[in-house]
Every structure is written in C-alpha cells, then in structure tokens.
Structure 1
C-alpha cells in the first residue's frame, strides 16, 4: 500500500514490495527517519555515498540527488527501490543498486548502514567495504533497538573502528564509527560443510546471508530421509523453490539424473551458493538453471515436482505471507498431476493452506518439530 514518507529532506510516496493491497505496513521505520535526520543536520557535503540494506528505498531515494550506491541481497528490495523510484519520478541512473557479491571499485565518503538481522552478513559487508573507506569517511549505522545484535558495537570496532552510540529516538538508535586504518580482519565469507545422501558424501556451500550455511538444518535433514520415496524418477522438471544453498535440488538430481533442475530464490547470495553446491557435485551437467526472482517468477516452463522449505520471515517481518505466495505460484506452475513437497514447522499449519489451495494434502513424515507435506495438482 502506497504511503507518504515525510522526512527531514523530502517527501516520498513509498510502498513495500511485492505490492499488496492487504499489506498495511509502511515501507520505512524510525531508524530510516533518524538516519535521514542526521544527514540533513550535518554540515558536510558528501560526494560519493554508499547505503547498505536499504529495503524499499526510503534512504536511497531520499538521497537520490547524491547518486548513492545501494547494496542489498534481496531481489524484492531491488525491485521495490526501482518501483518506488518510478513512482517518485526519480531517474534510474540516480541510484545504483548492487548485490553484496558485486565488486566495488571506488572510495566512499559516506556510509549509511541499516544494520542487518544476520550478524554474518554484517561482518561480510564490513570486510568487503573496509578497503574502500578512508579516515575521512563518515560511517553511520542505524536500526530499531529491538532488532540490534548485542555485539554490534564490538563488531563495528573490530572491523571498522571506534564506535559511539547515539541516544534512542522513537525506539531507534544510531552508531557513529571512525574509520581506523589497519583495523580490518580478513574473514572467509563462504562457508561449507559435508553431508551424506544415498551413500554419497556431498559438499554444501553458503554465503553469509544464507540459511543453514554451516550445517544441514534439521528440517532439510528430515526431508532428505524421505526424498527417495517421492518418485522423483518420473519428473522431467524439478524446481528447488527458495533454494538456499541448493541441497534439496542437488539431492533430487542424484535421484533423477535426467530431469532438468531449476534453483530459485530472492537472495542473490542463496542462488550463488546453490550454484556452487551444484557445480561441486555436477561440474559438467547442463540441464540446470539458477534464477534470482520472486518465488517462481522467471521459471518459464511447467514443473513436475517442486520442493520447498519456505521461510517464515522477511527481514524483521514474521508471518506466512511468503509461504502462501510460494504455494500459490507453485500451483500455477505445476503440470496436472505434479506435486509440491513442503517442509515446515508443525505450528505453522501449512497443511491447512495446502488443502485449501490444492484440495488435498498428504502427510509424508513428521517428527516433534517438523512435518513433510505433499500436495498434488488435480484437474
């Protein structure tokens, strides 16, 4: 829903993305307002700002006249910024939107960091950014107090320099960091671990913002135990929806070596991780595609099997709206007789949503915490 964002610099019309008439949440928070207030009150005139984790454009579009660079791992955030720029008649060239995996090539005199939920992503972003900073760089971070990691100041001081916290304002807080030459500590951002499937030892890779980047999560482990029983051998096209590091799709490909496989996620880091996991096991197979998009948008062919371990939060917003969108798109993309297999926490009651949508839902397996559900698309 489009709402007016009036701040210390300008007024913008902003909406969250994907656009939904049922979404009543605003596309900014008090931390965005606090950061913009700091910029507006400063006597400095920056020439080359960079903004990290601007979710829908509240920061970057407010500062568009300074031609900021924006770093975000979310495809939806990229699309939200582009859409909101068009609504506000801001030229696309005014804001450069990159992924966390993009190479940086110039120095920045202003860093605005919207503190991410994931501390591993925070460290990854700081270590990548540090070589492009100088002691004259203004470095300001912000976030809602309830979402800030307890080790934030320690992390900023370890990787950038001395840090001071501001007073709280509307339950938000800013952090001002001095860039300390020589303070950066090199750290490997890409994790890997080994696991076994059908007597094969496999390697999974995970970038900093990927779920279960250091070990196999227990929900996926449960699904892998029952994956051979799903008759995947008959499928011509299998999709790993919300693929993360790609474990489900790679294991499905071991069962059915002839099927084409699609990995899709809205995280750039996730899709790159899935690609690395795939290439480690199948360095020469060609029947695969890796797509960064919103759920199944971008998948052009129908699927026989869709495997899904849906997230139940988007940044700090918790709910089942992402899973519901995944399920609806899965039904549209499946062939008649095709099936969606879902792993989820018991308390999320996915079986009710699947039965409502598909008209059927079978319990494949369960344990104390998780259920594996399968819904088939009928005529």
Structure 2
C-alpha cells in the first residue's frame, strides 16, 4: 500500500492482488489529470459517474464519495476497486458493478442508470476498447460527457479508428506528463454500428475441437504459440483417466476443451478472471456439444475449488499483470494448482523458456520435469 496526495485528497492505494516491486504504484499521471478535473465535482448527483476499464480502482476510489458505476472485464480490477474503497472511508458512495459480458439487451438492463460522466481508461487491447465503448453507449445519452484517456503508449491510430466509429470528438487536450484525455459525445445516429470484430469459427489441428472467436479473449481468434506447444505434448493419458480437470486461466478454453474431448465422462472446470474469457469458453463448450460435465467460473485463480479435489490441472500462465512483466501471477497459479490437486494428481504448464518457469515449478512440485523445450517455450509436467 502507498499513500498518494491526490487532487481529491490523501488516498491509501494498493495494486491488488499483485503489487510488483517498490517502484510500482496503483495510480499514474492519467489518473491525476482526470481526478484534478473532477475533484470538486459535487458528490451528490442524481446520475452516476461511470468508470470503465481501470486497473486498480483509483478513480472509483478518488471520486467514490458520489454515485459510481464501475464496468470492467477483469475480476481482479473490480476486487482492487473494492479493496481500495475499504482503505478510504471517503469512498462511501453507492457503487454499481457491471461485468463486460453483460447483455444490455436483457430485461435487467433497466437497472443500470444513464451516466452523467463516462470515464474510460484506455486498455492495451484495441478489441477490449471497442467492447468497452460499445457497452458504455448503453450508459450514455445526449447529456453524458464521455472521457477517454491514458498514457501516451496507449494512444495510437487504432484508438482513433475505433473512436471515430462510435463517438464524436468534443474537445482534445494536450499531453501532460505523457498522459492525455479526449472528451467525446455520442453520435446523433439512433443505432450504434456493428462490431468491427470479424473472424470465423476455426478448429484445432490435433483434436476435433471448434473455437468460436470472441473479441479480447486470449487464444480465441487464433492459436497462440505457447498453447500450440502445450497441445503437442498434451497429457492424454492423465486427461482420459481424470475425474476432475481444471483449465486454470482458461482464455478461450482450448486446453479444457481438449480434455473434454478426450474424457467424455469427466468433469472440466474452466476458470479465468476475465468475464469475456469465461463466457467464450462456455460458448465453445456448448458449441462442441461435449458430453463431459463442465463448470465455468470467473474467479481469482482456483478460488471456489476445494483443496485436494482435482486430478489434472492445465495452465498457460500469464507473464505480466496490467502494465508490468512479473512472475507473481504464475507463482500464484502454481500455488493454486498445488492446493487443489489430489495427492498423485498432475499439473502441466507452458511458459516462455527465458522466464525460468521450469525452475519455479519445482518449488511447488518436486517431481516437475520438462516434456518439451525449445528456444521460445517450455512445457512442464509435475506430480502432487
């Protein structure tokens, strides 16, 4: 936790759940700019301030004395918002949380209020930016101020191409300490454009498993090289014999779907912190009409899965969290795998060879060994 003398006052803030090193903090210059603009914004408003896609809940905390709507794909980001609001008693205004897989065409959409101000933090992924903007339009009307901002490395031509598709520019502001914000308004057209994401269903080469692409989901539109290496050394015997299998950090669900194909009598649990990923994994499972049982959990690691209850864990762990490269997520997931595996259970992971995950895994699984290794990727297998 760090103390920040912000434009809204002194705040206690932490990066949750992975703190990084001593040089990392929860806020940046883009947060400071927009908070400075709205620090004196009246806390009591009929309509909420909607905050979309922020990493650590800084804006939802700093402006949290008023009514806040928080929209995010990331469970970790929403939990970080919750943690930081607890640390700051001034952030005691009403909070409504919306996940990125929310269907605004459902009858439940009426419970979401139109926003007075809509603040969108630029994500790294342009597909996710389009998802956020499309969802945000359901919270905006002609009276809503729409703000999009972030650090300079996030601003590119792709951002402008997306914003031009959905929004009208109201005012541009210059970069300040490498941070920039642009003010927009909704377009006059009554209907929003169709999504620009276009990609057809595709099938794995090794197994007859079809994948329905979805925007902003890992390994959804195309097979990534790490997953491809994992599939080539898939633990088929272990998958066929397992009663319960977990695809830990599932993305589009390729690993768990392969296991479901190999073991039609088993149970596969798909977990991810991304609501879009979990929804895509479930859509892929239903589309393939597997007979295996399945559960789909948006959760922190394997939270919600009992200790020593799983026979096989499959995992392609991330090597970064938000804006930093770190082994913290992998260490956390390895610990979760050890916790949920039965004695004698198997874990298989893949990682970039230069990251040294093969050494790290042995801290959790003494019998861990390489089953494949080249200059880019290492596939490892261990026993509980």
Q: Provide the TM-score with structure 2 as the length reference.
A: 0.89
Of 220, 227, 242 in structure 2, the residue corresponding to residue 213 of structure 1 is 220
Partner of 2:79: 79
Q: Give the conservation status (yes or no) of the 8 Å contact 1:157–1:163.
A: no
Deviations 1:191-242 (A, max 9, x none): 5532135552x32234322112211222212222222545322211111000
SS at match of 1:290: strand
Give CA deviations for 1:21-67 in whole Å, capped at 9, x if unaligned.
Answer: 96662221111111111223779996332110122221012222321
Q: Deviations over 1:114-145 (max 9, x none)?
A: 11111001111212222442333211111111
Aligned: 1:274 with 2:273 = no
Residue 101 of structure 1: aligned partner = 101
In the other structure, the counterpart of 2:299 is 293
Change (3 A) 1:85 1:361: same
Alignment length (residue pairs): 374
Task: Give the corresponding residue for 1:65.
Answer: 65
1:32–1:338: structure 2 CA closer, same or farther, 3 Å change rule? same
Aligned-partner Cα distance in 2 for 1:39–1:368: 50
CA pair 51-85 structure 1, distance change in 2 beyond 3 A: same
Distance 1:53 1:21 in 2: 20
CA distance in 1, matches of 2:316, 2:94: 37
Contact 1:340 1:374 (8 Å CA) reproduced: yes
Equivalent position to 2:358, from 338, 351, 358: 351
**Counterpart Cα distance in 2 of 1:134 and 1:21:** 39
1:84 Cα offset (Å): 1.8
Rounded Cα–Cα distance in structure 2 between residues aligned with 1:66 and 1:229: 54
- Give deviations 1:237-280, integer Å, cap 9, x for gaps: 11100000111101111112222211111111111111111111
CA positional deviation for 1:283: 5.8
SS of equivalent residue, structure 1 residue 356: coil
Change in 2 beyond 3 A, CA 1:165/1:6: same
Distance 1:51 1:252 in 2: 38
Residue 279 to residue 361, structure 1, CA distance change in 2 (3 Å): same
Deviation at 1:99, TM superposition (A): 0.7
Are the counterparts in 2 of residues 119 and 149 from structure 1 also a CA contact under 8 Å? Answer: no
- 1:60-94 per-residue CA deviation (whole Å, 9 max, x = no partner) reads 12222321101011111111111222222367762
2:36 match: secondary structure? helix
- For residue 12 of structure 1, give the secondary structure of its aligned residue in structure 2: strand
For the Cα contact (< 8 Å) 1:72–1:100, is it kept in 2?
Answer: yes
Out of 193, 196, 203, the residue aligned to residue 195 of structure 1 is 203
5 Å matches for 1:279-358?
Answer: 279-282=286-289, 285=292, 287-300=293-306, 302-358=309-365
Task: Describe the SS at the equivalent of 1:289.
Answer: strand
**Structure 1 CA distance for aligned equivalents of residues 195 and 8 of structure 2:** 37
Tell me how far 1:288 sits from its aligned partner.
1.6
Q: How does 1:235-246 map to 2 (within 5 A)?
A: 235-246=242-253
- After superposing the two structures, state which structure 1 stretch, 178-187 or 346-355, moved more: 178-187
Q: Is the 8 A contact 1:48 1:108 kept in 2?
A: yes
Query: Within 5 A, what are the aligned runs for 1:13-52?
Result: 13-18=12-17, 25-40=24-39, 47-52=47-52
Deviation at 1:100, TM superposition (A): 1.2
